[in-house]
């Protein structure tokens, strides 16, 4: 067993840490305050292969492993959770399923442009009446001649207003339950597709989250991803990897909050000495660091399982469950250490606290992760 990152993984970590410090950290508070999608970061990240970390170099990716990808998301989220989810939604939820399930023609058309960051992707599963119960979606896709015709709506789509393509699930056979759901690759310009207004969220405010509306939206039948009726399994398999991404994002948020709390504990003087000399503060820092370490082990293990061809769905759910709840707890303690200052926008920990919460919600709530884990225990 080896707990160290490899030389290649360390090089990627160093590169992204440097990028995050010089290009992302300086704008992180501003893009959060202004709810501004940092479009200017996408070409910069693309240049460093950050938009396609785990995909082959011949397709424009970095040709790196999933542990490296987790490290990349962690480093981005350490300074800006919005930037991390832009990359994670694009990579895990849109690019991965095309590499995994796409036809040669779909790969030819999209895979390179997604992996090299020329195109931005998004994933559209959730509907107003189908969140945790993802199979309850009402959107339909009917084969009419050479086209599928999509009708219905999707909500909470990460990258919604900026994506060039969407992986969309819709019912092709409503009588067949989950086996009647199919997945499609839909171009943003498909006639009959419109993108709705941005959500006003508690955190990750610089990421785009919109509904999508399909009104007799015609897409060619070649847009089917995988086989008809396999869309639910494709979505679930996609989320197995996506959840490692969210777990890595949560880990980065937690680490960023701990970094800020340590710096503050050293500099803030009360009772004539730095508050870091007080045991009340030391115990909080110790608990935070320990939980982060445990989360990191779970996150890297899940990614390592994926890299090594092992089943990783349960490991991914465990990593997301623990890392996301850790992020919320750690960010809360980081505010506590900062006292009243931590509750203001002058310090990054209030943003970390707001950003952490969503990691317990999207790509399956903590309750969904517990359902998945418990299901595997009782099978
Ligand atoms: N991989 C492959 N197949 C899977 C699977 C997986 N991980 N999990 C389930 N399946 C298959 C099952 O084997 C079953 O197949 P058969 O028909 O052959 O038996 C089929 O899918 C149905 O499985 P279940 O009966 O377990 O499905 P369910 O309806 O009970 O749902 C659930 C289970 C875990 C609750 C699921 O609905 C779920 O994960 N819900 C949460 C959805 C979610 O995470 N949404 C996030 C939206 S995306 C988002 O947030 C992205 C963003 O923008 C950031």
351 and 251 in a common domain? yes
pLDDT value of residue 80: 98
3-state SS of 268-294 is CEECCEEHHHCHHHHHHHHHHHHHHHH
At which residue do the structure tokens 């290649």 appear? 8
174 and 111 in a common domain? no
Distance in Å, CA 306 to ligand 1 centroid: 18
Whether 325 is covered by a domain: the verdict is yes
Stated pTM of the model: 0.98
pLDDT-based confidence at residue 149 (cuts at 50, 70, 90):
very high
Pocket test for ligand 1, best of 156, 166, 180, 232 (most atoms within 8 A of CB): 232
352 and 247 in a common domain? yes
**Structure confidence by residue, pLDDT tens digits, 273-320:** 999 999 999 999 999 999 999 999 999 999 999 999 999 999 999 999
Ligand 1 nearest-atom number relative to CA 375: 26
Mean residue pLDDT of the chain comes to 98
Neighbours of 286 (CB within 10 A): 11
Residue 74: CATH number of its domain:
1.10.540.10
Neighbours of 135 (CB within 10 A): 16
pLDDT value of residue 183: 98
239 and 135 in a common domain? no
End residue of a domain, out of 231, 247, 281: 231
323 and 190 in a common domain? no
Whether 372 is covered by a domain: the verdict is yes
Name the DSSP letter for residue 111: I
Residue 178: CB within 6 Å of ligand 1? yes
Kind and range of the H or E run holding 349: helix 349-358
180 and 101 in a common domain? no
309 and 321 in a common domain? yes
**Structure confidence by residue, pLDDT tens digits, 324-363:** 999 999 999 999 999 999 999 999 999 999 999 999 999 9
pLDDT value of residue 200: 98
- Cα 47 to Cα 61, 67, 116: the distances in Å are 10, 20, 8
Whether 2 is covered by a domain: the verdict is no
323 and 238 in a common domain? yes
Residue 239: CB within 6 Å of ligand 1? yes
- Looking at the structure of the chain, the number of domains it has is 3
End residue of a domain, out of 115, 150, 169: 115
302 and 280 in a common domain? yes
Over residues 12-16, mean pLDDT: 98
278 and 327 in a common domain? yes
Enzyme catalytic residues: 363
**Structure confidence by residue, pLDDT tens digits, 96-146:** 999 999 999 999 999 999 999 999 999 999 999 999 999 999 999 999 999
Greatest Cα pair distance, the chain, in angstroms, is 79
- Residue 47: is its pLDDT beyond 90? yes
280 and 155 in a common domain? no
Distance in Å, CA 235 to ligand 1 centroid: 7
Pocket test for ligand 1, best of 229, 233, 235, 367 (most atoms within 8 A of CB): 233
Quick one: what percent of the chain has pLDDT higher than 70? Answer: 100
* Beta strands per DSSP E along the chain: 121-124, 140-144, 147-158, 165-171, 181-187, 193-195, 209-220, 224-225, 269-270, 273-274
Pocket test for ligand 1, best of 169, 182, 236, 359 (most atoms within 8 A of CB): 236
Whether 257 is covered by a domain: the verdict is yes
Residue 9: CB within 6 Å of ligand 1? no
Tokens of 64: 């790196």
Domain with 75 in it: 7-115
pLDDT value of residue 309: 98
- Residue 1: is its pLDDT beyond 90? no
Residue 289: CB within 6 Å of ligand 1? no
Ligand 1 nearest-atom number relative to CA 159: 53
Residue 317: CATH number of its domain:
1.20.140.10
Residue 179: CB within 6 Å of ligand 1? yes
210 and 138 in a common domain? yes
Residue 123: CB within 6 Å of ligand 1? yes
Residue nearest to atom 26 of ligand 1 (CA): 372
End residue of a domain, out of 115, 135, 165: 115
């Amino acid at each position: 067993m080896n707990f160290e990152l490899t030389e290649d993984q360390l090089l990627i970590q160093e590169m992204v840490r440097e990028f995050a410090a010089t290009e992302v950290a300086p704008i992180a508070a501003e893009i959060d305050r202004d709810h501004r999608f940092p479009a200017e970061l996408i070409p910069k990240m693309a240049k460093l292969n950050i938009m396609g970390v785990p995909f082959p170099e011949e397709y424009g990716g970095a040709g790196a492993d999933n542990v490296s990808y987790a490290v990349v998301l962690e480093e981005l989220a350490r300074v800006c959770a919005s930037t991390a989810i832009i990359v994670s939604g694009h990579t895990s939820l849109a690019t991965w399923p095309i590499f995994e399930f796409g036809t040669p023609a779909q790969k030819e058309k999209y895979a390179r442009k997604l992996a090299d960051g020329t195109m931005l992707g998004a994933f559209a599963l959730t509907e107003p009446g189908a969140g945790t119960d993802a199979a309850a979606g009402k959107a339909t896709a009917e084969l009419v001649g050479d086209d599928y015709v999509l009708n219905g709506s999707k909500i909470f789509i990460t990258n919604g207003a900026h994506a060039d393509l969407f992986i969309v699930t819709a019912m092709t056979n409503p009588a067949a339950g989950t086996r009647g759901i199919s997945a499609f690759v839909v171009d943003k310009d498909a006639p009959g597709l419109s993108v709705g207004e941005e959500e006003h969220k508690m955190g990750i405010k610089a990421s785009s989250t919109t509904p999508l509306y399909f009104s007799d939206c015609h897409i060619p039948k070649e847009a089917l991803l995988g086989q008809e009726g396999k869309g639910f399994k494709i979505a679930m398999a996609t989320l197995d990897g996506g959840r490692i991404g969210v777990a890595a994002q949560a880990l980065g948020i937690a680490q960023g909050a701990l970094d800020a709390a340590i710096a503050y504990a050293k500099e803030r003087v009360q009772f004539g000495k730095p508050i870091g000399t007080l045991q009340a503060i030391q115990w909080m820092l110790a608990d935070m660091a320990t939980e982060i370490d445990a989360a990191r082990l779970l996150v890297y293990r899940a990614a390592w399982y994926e890299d090594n061809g092992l089943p990783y769905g349960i490991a991914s759910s465990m990593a997301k469950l623990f890392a996301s709840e850790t992020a919320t707890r750690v960010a809360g303690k980081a505010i506590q250490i900062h006292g009243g200052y931590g509750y203001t926008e002058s310090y990054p920990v209030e943003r970390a606290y707001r950003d952490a919460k969503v990691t317990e919600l999207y790509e399956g709530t903590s309750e969904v992760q517990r359902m998945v884990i418990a299901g595997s225990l009782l099978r």
